[in-house]
Amino acid sequence: AEPVFFEQARAKDLCTVLLASSKSTEPRLQQIAGISTGFIYYVPQTGITGLTLSIGRSIRERLGRIRALSATPVCVGIGVKSREDVRQLFSLADGVIVGTRIVEFIEAHRDDPHLAKQTAALIKGLLP
């Protein structure tokens, strides 16, 4: 049986997003693929947020494996900082998650009265 959390989320029509990593075992990937409903968050490297992303064959292969297990969209995050990162990942994944880059920008400009407009411009500049 699934944990109560997943049952309650499903009953409330809430999506469950689980993380898969480059270190996830095959049984774990199968479990993630079977339970995730909104999207699967793929973390292509181990470490903390804010790392530099290295896009290579291993990401392509892993995304292919995850897609073979589930029709749920797969989004990639951690280390995504530039428009080029986003462009490359959009060719491989259903979505791209940019977190740390945006948080760092907001933190550095938090006293700027035009912060919202500048943040929107940053995000627009990341789009391919």
Amino acid at site 102: I
Summarised one tens digit per residue, pLDDT across range 38-96 is 999 999 876 555 555 666 678 888 999 999 999 999 999 888 888 998 998 888 899 99
More confident residue, 44 or 14: 14
Q: How many CB atoms lie within 10 A of CB 78?
A: 22
Amino acid at site 103: V
Entry pTM: 0.82
What is the phi-psi region of residue 66: left when phi exceeds 0, alpha when psi lies from -120 to 50, beta otherwise? alpha
Mean pLDDT of the chain: 89
Q: By the 8 A CB rule, do 73 and 41 touch?
A: no
pLDDT given for residue 54 in this prediction: 61
**What is the domain partition of the chain in residue ranges?**
4-98
Query: 85-107 burial by CB neighbour count: b if 16+ within 10 A, else e?
Result: bbebbeebbbebbbebbeeebee
pLDDT given for residue 1 in this prediction: 46
Cα-trace Rg, the chain: 16
Amino acid at site 124: K
Per CATH, the number for 4-98 is 3.20.20.70
pLDDT given for residue 32 in this prediction: 95
pLDDT given for residue 47 in this prediction: 58
pLDDT at position 3 over 60: yes
